[in-house]
Amino acid sequence: MFNNLYSGFAELPRHWSGFRLGIAVFLFLAITGQLKAQDCSPHGENLEGLPILEITIDNGDIFDLEQEDQNLWIHRWANRLHINTRKKTIEQQLLFDLEDGYNQQLIEETERLLRSRNYIHDAEITAEEICGQGVKLKVATTDNWTLTPSVSISSSGGETRTAIEIEESNLLGFGTEIKILSESDEERDSNAFVYRDKNWLGKLKDLRLEVADNSDGHRYQVDVERPFIKLDSRYAWSVQAASVEKENPVYEQGDEVAKVGETNDSLLLAYGWSDGLVNDSVSRYRLGWVANELRYNTVDDPDIELPADVDKSYPFFEYEWLKVKYVERVNFRVMGITEDIKLGSSLRARIGWKDEAYESTEEGHVLEFNYNFGSFVTTNTLGLFDLSLYQESNQTIDDTGRVVMRGQLYNFRGVNHSYVFSSRLEAAQNPELFERIEVGGDSGLKGYPVRFQNGERAFTLSAERRVYFNVYLWQMVKFGFAMFAEAGSAWDDGENPVWLSDVGTGLRLVSTRQSSSKVLHVDIAFPLSEKDEIDDYQFYVKARTEF
């Protein structure tokens, strides 16, 4: 072929020699370029296993000023005053490193992990193949506004709560959270300081410190943890220590009738291991030790029956199993924010053995069990279920325990409209007076005062229509609307329940660009039964974590 080409060039006039040379060079570059292009042929959509050759981090501002609706003066000032999350902070939370093989599941897990940090609004990781030799990754994030001074007054079920708070959840862009809080509610006044660093001493270790001076005591807590941060994690450990002193109020029909003082000092040590992700499921194991010292005292009623003082010190074994997947959705539990919904099944079971040899005042077992399940029943209908159980046997005093079952059914009617049906069944075995199950106010029935009923059993049921408005004020605040109906009761074992019911409506507001992203509820609810000696309606204003 090349001889024919050359002979063809030779037939050209001699004074075209420069032209012949140019054609030869062009053909040489074209042929070698084609060969090189064949060497760099696209690998296709399946990049699995290709080495990661480059990681670029784009730590974006709160607002994208190139978007017309995000380029007002308030957006520009927010970006100027805000310190972006540092690239190093984002890098420390990546679940992959250079030279690792590309793994789509790890990419998705990393996106979810970044979105779970309240200082990050959204995260997206894109992959580009480099000439068949590897993969170049781009990690793009947008920030939330993280400095939040606030003064709040909320009312629910006839009770008023006030709070003054300064919170910075991304100090100097390092992902460190600091909170100073002064609050007052129906139970206590509290002044607290909280420090949390989820990248303490390197990658993906969590340190949390809390100091609270309360009107009825104190709370000191230190937690240091290296969690199972990804599905394929092979080990984890944790150390938790706390000292709490408080007064537990005892209620009857919403009125406080007594208080029981409590001092609780506790310590937990645990180490966990796993074979990682095997056939789409994960099994994890933990060994640990719990030490707990409980002391009780009278506060204002010398005749009240106090619980027995308890020392608990015991080893435990825990097994956890996961087979889950995630889907993304906007307008699920909040508004205007990408949320990751966990589907599939997960369970966790822990068994501990109390014995006098371990300096426990009682002998017996301590059992904890949790199960979660989520699945789409139809294309637009999502079902969620969770079960939790705690049971403790004792040799000389009554056994105690509690079981809680919750179910939720979400029916999505497009992006801006949904129906939500919820139920909760709870039962307690030999609860203390201040541990009885309560309904009323923000605990299931908004048409009644807080803690209107309490007992050893409780059941609540609600149906809610949710509307998410398209209004997006300054690309910062989303609005919604809800209509709801609720029913339920709390009663003692062996008694007939007295059923309560109410209907109501309310507005929802959420600041989508703020790290806390709490949903402000402004509700009015009307009781339909047992209306004697209570108001004709209850006005409810409170910031919550869900719609």
Query: Considering only 20-24, 249-253, 328-332, which range has the smallest mean pLDDT?
Result: 20-24
Rank 12-16, 147-151, 249-253 by mean pLDDT and report only the highest: 147-151
DSSP structure string for 282-293? EEEEEEEEEEEE
State the pLDDT confidence band at 234, using cuts at 50, 70 and 90: very high
Cα dihedral 169, 171, 177, 178 sign:
negative
Look at residue 154 in the predicted model and tell me its pLDDT: 64
- Dump pLDDT digits (tens) for 283-313: 999 999 999 999 998 887 777 888 888 899 9
213, 190 contact by CB (below 8 A): yes
d(CA 274, CA 278): 10
Q: Which residue has the higher pLDDT, 130 or 254?
A: 130
C-beta contacts of 166-170 below 8 A and 24+ residues apart: 167/515, 167/516, 169/118, 169/119, 169/144, 169/515, 169/516, 170/83, 170/85, 170/119, 170/143, 170/144, 170/146, 170/515
Query: What angle separates helix 17-39 from helix 2-10, to the nearest 10 degrees?
Result: 160
Instruction: Look up residue 107 and give its DSSP letter.
Output: H
Which pLDDT value is given to residue 156? 58
**Contact yes or no for 271/227 (Cβ under 8 A):** no
Residues 6+ away with beta carbon under 8 Å from 182: 163, 164, 165, 189, 190, 191, 192
Average pLDDT (397-417) is 94
Query: Higher model confidence: residue 252 or residue 342?
Result: 342
Enter the tokens of residue 126.
């894109």
| Cα separation, 313 vs 295, whole angstroms | 15
pLDDT at 158: 59
* 142-167 per-residue burial string, b: 16 or more CB within 10 A, e: under 16: bbbbbebeeeeebebbbbebebebeb
- pLDDT of 12 reads 46
Residue 30 pLDDT exceeds 60: no
Q: Give the pLDDT band of residue 38 (cuts 50, 70, 90).
A: very low
Closest by CA position to 193, among listed 172, 208, 205: 208
> How far apart are the C-alpha atoms of 72 and 64, rounded to whole Å?
11
pLDDT given for residue 228 in this prediction? 95
Region for residue 99 given its phi and psi (left: phi exceeds 0; alpha: psi -120 to 50; beta: otherwise)? left
> In terms of C-beta density within 10 A (0-12 exposed, 13-18 middle, 19 or more buried), how is residue 312 classed?
buried
Residues whose CB is less than 8 angstroms from the CB of residue 470 and which lie 6 or more positions away in sequence, other chains included: 416
Q: How far is CA 22 from CA 156, 280, 394, in A?
A: 85, 59, 95
- The tokens describing 296, both together, are 């009780």
pLDDT tens digits for range 346-385: 999 999 999 988 889 989 999 999 999 999 999 999 999 9
pLDDT band at 155 (very low <50, low <70, confident <90, very high): low
Among 359, 370, 465, 384, CA closest to 418: 465
Q: Is 398 exposed, middle or buried (0-12, 13-18, 19+ CB in 10 A)?
A: exposed
Torsion sign, CA atoms 446, 421, 343, 414: negative
Residues 206/211/214/218 CA torsion (nearest 10 deg) = 90
Tokens of 108: 């998705």
Question: For residue range 505-527, what is the model confidence (pLDDT) as tens digits?
Answer: 999 999 999 887 789 899 999 99
Distance of CA 428 to the CA centre of its chain: 26
Q: What average pLDDT does this structure show over 206-228?
A: 94
The CATH number for 147-544, chosen from 3.40.50.180, 2.40.160.50, 3.30.470.20, 1.20.1250.20, is 2.40.160.50
Count of residues for the chain?
547
- Average of per-residue pLDDT values in the chain: 88
Q: How far is CA 65 from CA 9, 70, 119, 506, in A?
A: 58, 5, 19, 34
Q: Residue 4: is its pLDDT beyond 60? A: no
Closest by alpha carbon to 198, among 207, 190, 189?
Answer: 207
Q: What pLDDT, on the 0 to 100 scale, is given for residue 19?
A: 47
Residue 238, pLDDT above cutoff 60: yes
Q: Give kind and range of the element (H or E) at residue 25.
A: helix 17-39
What residue ranges in 48-119 does DSSP mark as E strands?
Answer: 52-59
- What's the mean pLDDT in 384-411? 95
Instruction: Give the C-alpha separation, 461 to 162, whole Å.
Output: 29
| CATH, range 52-143 | 3.10.20.310
| pLDDT per position as a tens digit, 456-468 | 999 999 999 999 9
Give the whole-number percent of the chain exceeding pLDDT 90: 65
The predicted structure's pLDDT at residue 378 = 94
User: 25 pLDDT band (50/70/90 cuts)?
Assistant: very low
Query: Binning pLDDT at 50, 70 and 90, where does residue 11 land?
Result: very low
CA distance 226 to 239: 9
Residue corresponding to tokens 């709390």: 490
Report the candidate in 76, 83, 95 with the shortest Cα–Cα distance to residue 59. Answer: 83
Please work out, in degrees rounded to the nearest 5, the angle formed at the alpha carbon of residue 379 by the alpha carbons of 373 and 381. Answer: 55
What pLDDT does residue 37 have?
Answer: 41
